[in-house]
Structure 1
Amino acid sequence: MDLGLQLGYWGAQPPTGTAELVAAAEDAGFDALFTAEAWGSDALTPLAWWGRETTRLRLGTSIVQMSGRTPASIAMHALTLDHLSGGRVVLGMGVSGPQVVEGWYGQPFAKPLARTREVVDVVRQVLAREAPVTNDGPHHPLPYAGEGSVGLGKPLRSIVHPLRADLPIFLGAEGPRNVALAAEIADGWLPLFYSPASADLYRPWLAEGFARPGARRTPDTFEIAATCHLQVTDDPGPVLEALKPSVALYMGGMGAKGQNFHQEVFVRMGHEQLAHDVQELYLAGRKDEAAALVPDELVDQLHVVGDAARVRDKVAEWEASGVTMLLLSLTTPDEVRLVAETLA
């Protein structure tokens, strides 16, 4: 199982010390560097900025929000960075949620699975460069001929010859149909709040996707890149406590009350009442109380925290559950080096 450094998305200000963190990951033998976006910093600019100082790390997005760019624009970003990095890009994409898609990007959220299929198909057409790119689907028609069209749209082929037609595409997916779709059309899956304890929940969904006609990968060639926090410590209590606000945010605050895909993950894991109670408190502005409801056992299940022996045992469990890469949220070069030494 490979290790990746998960930088995530920015908070109120850009993070400090990131260049040193990335350099430590490259020196320590990590496989990849991943970035994210929400409704502030984007995923691609930081990846290009800090990735330029690396020579070996794969450069991945987890995730590019599909509604923030047209499919052709996403493909342009990927093929450009792939050339600049010498063929190291992993394009992770996802649909995000209705609050962000309609409230931030001003795009319709309906039919996310169909939209995902169209986006992936257009991106692959651009990268293959076998013919001018067209799309007959209703979500991203190419050429566009709908309302406001002047009727002069022309199918085009990328001026730049992409470096790799098979640039890997990962999909962020949480529900049964989205996970199955990822297994069918993508090269990898970026789950959220995955853990060995929930692996059995996802296996049938993945198997359904792999069994579909024309599925791109098999279980043996499909990557599962799961994000977690890993910390080697003899005193796990304070670390677990510090992780609770993040769990509460996704469980109760990252989405609308009637449609929170992140919350549904916890419901499927068997925490329906907890998810409901956390959401009620979070949306009422009582964030500290919401975080306090999250039990240590759940946080411990979702992350890898403990002394060196326990960390090694838990990482082995993640690998046995099917994870091919752990994307780790680490904060200092010393943490990066300690993780590498512990797992060596």
Structure 2
Amino acid sequence: MRLGLVLGYWGAAPTTGFVELAQEVERLGFDSVWTAESWGSDVFTPLTWIAAHTSRIRLGTGIAQMAARTPTATAMHALTLDHLSGGRMLLGLGLSGPQVVEGWYGRPFPRSPLTAVREYVDVIRQTLRREKPVTLAGRYHPLPYPGPDGTGLGKPLKPITHPLRPDIPILLGAEGPKNIAQTVSIADGWLPLYFSPERWHEVYAAPLAGARPGFMVAPLVHARVCANVDEGLAPIRAMLGFYIGGMGAQTRNFHADLMARMGYGTEARRIQELFLTGRREEAVAAVPAAFADEISLVGPRERIAERLAAWRATPVTDLLVTSRDPLTLRTLAELVL
């Protein structure tokens, strides 16, 4: 397995020391570093800053939100950063959810998410191949624009700049079985949000069937080297309480749906109920420690080393580690690499 560092997105202020941390994991032998976006900092600018201060480590968007940019705009970002970094770009994409897409970007969430994702990837592939002007008779991303409110003067184009690599790897954040199956067929890798090595076969084996050699399976893994497992799991449970309880409407929360598919349906509904009625501390307390532990690597070095055996027995190719603790990162490098 390879290791990646997940830096996520900024909070109220820019994250301090993120460049130095990227440089440190590059020295430790990590393969990749990943940035994110929600409704604050964007995903590409910090990654470009990291690219300028590193030389080898691959640079991933984990994830770039599709609603934030047209597919051709995303392809422009990717080909530009790929040139500037000497071919280190990994393009991770995701739809986000209705609350963000409609509330922040002011666009309708697609009624057919599978179609929207497929079209988006198609346009990016065409752009990067640069074989001919990009066209698509699509439902969500038609090119040229055919709408009745347009001028009718749209002209098919191909990028002026020749991409350094026509095959920049594209990875998708997907959670439902149909979405994962489509990811296997149209993308170069998959970015699972929650992955349990104990349950992967029952939850993911069917949609992952047919993945070709080299297909990346790169889950986010919360990690912390510490003496007390319960204390180490506390911030992970807090994060899960927020995402499962509040990152989506009660009737449409992809994180809660995934937790239910992983065998914690009753608990997921209870977390949502508590969070959405303003009882956030109770929502966090309702997150099962067992669930937080399944998707994490927490505890003393010996416990983490033992649990890594289960991860190695899965299709996972890359562990994308969310920790910023130097001891944890160094320990994982020693145990994994």
Which residue is equivalent to 1:12?
Answer: 12
Distance across 2 between alignment mates of 1:53 and 1:294: 39
Which residue is equivalent to 1:277?
Answer: 270
Of 204, 207, 210, the residue aligned with 1:205 is: 207
Q: Which runs of 5+ in 2 are unaligned?
A: none
TM-score by length of 1: 0.95
Once the two structures are superposed, residues 209-253 of structure 1 have per-residue CA deviations (whole angstroms, 9 ceiling, x without a partner) of: x3xxxxxx51x3211001011122222221112221101112111
Q: CA deviation at 1:175?
A: 0.2
Do the aligned residues in 2 keep the contact of 1:43 with 1:63 (CA within 8 Å)?
yes
Q: CA RMSD in A?
A: 1.2
Which residue is equivalent to 1:114?
Answer: 115
Which residue is equivalent to 1:77?
Answer: 77
In the alignment, is residue 335 of structure 1 matched against residue 328 of structure 2?
A: yes
Distance across 1 between alignment mates of 2:255 and 2:235: 20
Distance across 1 between alignment mates of 2:233 and 2:29: 27
Which residue is equivalent to 2:36?
Answer: 36
Of 227, 233, 236, the residue aligned with 1:240 is: 233
Distance across 1 between alignment mates of 2:303 and 2:331: 14
In the alignment, is residue 315 of structure 1 matched against residue 308 of structure 2?
A: yes
In the alignment, is residue 50 of structure 1 matched against residue 50 of structure 2?
A: yes
1:1-344 superposed matches below 5 A: 1-109=1-109, 110-200=111-201, 201-207=203-209, 210=210, 218=212, 220-344=213-337
TM-score by length of 2: 0.97
SS of equivalent residue, structure 1 residue 270:
helix
Query: Where do 4+ consecutive residues of structure 1 move more than 3 Å?
Result: 332-335
Q: CA deviation at 1:102?
A: 1.1
Which residue is equivalent to 1:213?
Answer: none
Distance across 1 between alignment mates of 2:199 and 2:68: 31
Q: Which amino acid aligns with 1:122?
A: V
Q: Which amino acid aligns with 1:202?
A: Y
Residues 313-322 or 51-60, more deviating = 313-322
Q: Which runs of 5+ in 1 are unaligned?
A: 211-216
Once the two structures are superposed, residues 35-91 of structure 1 have per-residue CA deviations (whole angstroms, 9 ceiling, x without a partner) of: 111111111111111222111111001111111100100100000000000001010
Give the number of equivalent residue pairs: 335
Once the two structures are superposed, residues 280-305 of structure 1 have per-residue CA deviations (whole angstroms, 9 ceiling, x without a partner) of: 11111111110011122111111001
Q: CA deviation at 1:132?
A: 0.4
